[in-house]
Amino acid sequence: MILNKNNNFTILLAGILSITIGVGVARFAFTSLLPSMLEDFLTIQYAGLYASINFSGYLAGAIFAMFIKDINTKVRYFRIGILLSIITTFILATTTNEIFWMISRLLAGFGSAMVLIVGGSIVMVKLNYENKTKAMGIYYTGIGSAIVLCEVVSQFVLLQNSWNDAWMVLVLYASVISIFVVYILSFDKEIKKDAPKHKFSLKIFTPYVIFLTLAYFTAGVGFVVQGTFLPDIIHTLPGLDEYGSLVWLCVGIAGIPSAVIWMRLAHNYGSVNIIIVVMFLHIAGILIPTFSNAVFLNLISGALYGSTFIALVALFMTLGGKIAPQNPVVLMGAFTAAYGIGQVVAPLYSIKLISMFGNYDSTLYLTAFIVFVGVVFLFLAKKVESNKL
């Protein structure tokens, strides 16, 4: 059964494992290993720059992915994404050259988009379920699983070895797992299926949609600061220098069921209402390290982050599909671009503020304020939508 390309369990397993390669190894392992690299050779300025470059690559890949219609072409780009995830990680394991790292992080970002977005569409096509949306909620548990796996592997290697060795172990893991992933997420023969064509119309960008897009931009900002620096944020708090890894592990554990739970609540209570609740919890998680160095509260901070950032992606993307069911590509592309711009901008202002004040507090305050502005946009979206009724 495990090698059956058409078995639903096997397809979902391959999808989740692909996320551990494209999102875990190629993206979040950088966060896991950041404190060790900062202690050895990396500066916080370069860490922020590499994060911004990585998300630039992801943004380009995400927008590009929206316009790949042919499923056979998607399979080819998915394989390219897996290959890029492995090669770019190998570069991090074998050199500290700044130019090579910049190129590596850019291509890793593009590869991550190919794996997560294009791979997700392949999983969707292959699954044999009546309600594929619910099944895709299981697929997105792979993001939390990826964080947990890469954190556990990284910290285990670091007990006796260096961050270079941790990168190399992750390369070996990704290389072995990729054989299974690439085999399962493919087709025995080319699929002949014409993609439906819909006319582009700016009418889709109503005030309601514009406010939602602006809110999703702020969610991108909120995601990337903790997603890049959280272990080091905890590492710099008095008395918590040994707890960064544990807090980051909480992020992954809390993230595993988050999309499924919050999407169920959105179905019952309305998407925008639940997104507002999630963003308020996200703000709370951002602010906790600024006023407390209590272990328990900072573990909660990690859990709040993990349980909200994955959920926000799932909630916004699902809402976009509901708003424009006949032409979701354009709206999801706009949402993704807004989120991606937030991801690119946030590390850049972060390293500036960290350099100015010598700690993370001002960065976290500004990030929390920006996410709060996103909540305001959501209330405005609710208001303009209710005025239409």
Dist. CA 113–CA 81, nearest whole Å: 7
Query: What pLDDT score was predicted for residue 333?
Result: 81
pLDDT for 25 equals: 97
Using the predicted structure, report yes or no on whether residue 324 has a pLDDT greater than 90: no
Taking 60 as the threshold, does the pLDDT of residue 379 lie above it? yes
Q: Where are the beta strands (DSSP E) in 16-60?
A: none
CB 312 within 8 A of CB 279: yes
Residue 336: per-residue pLDDT: 87
Q: What is the pLDDT of residue 295?
A: 96
Range scoring the smallest mean pLDDT among 21-35, 324-338, 345-359: 324-338
More confident residue, 161 or 318: 161
Supply the pLDDT for residue 193: 59
Predicted local confidence at residue 137, as pLDDT: 79
Mean pLDDT of 86-92: 98
pLDDT of residue 130: 72
Q: Do 319 and 211 contact (CB within 8 A), yes or no?
A: no
Lowest-pLDDT choice from 186-190, 238-242, 377-381: 186-190
Nearest-angstrom CA–CA distance, 171 and 153? 11
- H/E stretch holding 349: helix 328-357
pLDDT bin (cut points 50, 70, 90) of residue 202 is low
| Helix-strand-coil split of the chain, %, nearest 5 | 80, 0, 20
pLDDT for 110-138, tens place per residue?
Answer: 999 999 989 988 998 898 877 666 777 78
Q: Which two tokens stand for residue 22?
A: 């494209």
Element housing 307 (H / E): helix 295-323
pLDDT band for position 331 (cuts 50, 70, 90): confident
- As a whole number of Å, the end-to-end CA separation of the chain is 51
Overall CATH class of domain 202-389 = mainly alpha
* pLDDT score, position 92: 97
Q: Is 33 left (phi over 0), alpha (psi -120 to 50) or beta?
A: alpha
Question: Can you say whether the dihedral through the CA atoms of 30, 231, 254, 148 is positive or negative?
Answer: positive
pLDDT at residue 56 tops 70: yes
pLDDT attached to residue 201: 61
pLDDT band at 223 (very low <50, low <70, confident <90, very high): very high
Residue-wise pLDDT tens digits, 23-52: 999 999 999 999 999 999 999 999 999 999
| Higher per-residue pLDDT: 189 or 39 | 39
Decide if pLDDT at 246 tops 90.
yes
Looking at residue 258, the DSSP 8-state letter turns out to be H
Tokens representing 91 are 């570069």
Percentage of the chain with pLDDT > 70? 94
Superfamily of domain 1-188: MFS general substrate transporter like domains (1.20.1250.20)
For residue 326, the model assigns a pLDDT of 66
User: How far from 144 is each of 16, 20, 248, 348, CA to CA, in Å?
Assistant: 10, 9, 11, 25
Q: What are phi and psi of 67, to 5 degrees?
A: -110, 10
pLDDT score for 327: 64
How far apart, in whole angstroms, are the C-alpha atoms of residue 178 and residue 316? 29
Task: Read off the pLDDT of each residue in 161-180 and give the average, rounded to a whole number.
Answer: 97
Q: What is the pLDDT of residue 199?
A: 56
**308 class by beta-carbon count within 10 Å (0-12 exposed, 13-18 middle, 19+ buried):** buried
Distance CA 280, CA 47 (A): 28
Q: Label residue 197 by pLDDT band (50, 70, 90).
A: low
Q: pLDDT value at position 226?
A: 93
Angle separating helix axes 207-235 and 295-323, nearest 10 degrees: 160
Sequence ranges of the domains in the chain: 1-188, 202-389
pLDDT at 245 over 80: yes
Calpha distance 245→31 (Å, rounded): 10
**Long-range pairs for 95-102: beta carbons < 8 A, 24 or more residues apart:** 96/41, 98/46, 101/46, 101/50, 102/49, 102/50, 102/53
Whose CA is closest to 242, among 28, 27, 35?
35
Q: How many helices (H) and strands (E) does the chain have?
A: 16, 0
d(CA 316, CA 329) in angstroms, rounded, equals: 13
Quickly state the pLDDT bin for 3 (edges 50, 70, 90): confident
State the chain's mean pLDDT as an integer.
Answer: 91
Spatial CA neighbour of 64 closest among 105, 112, 31, 101: 112
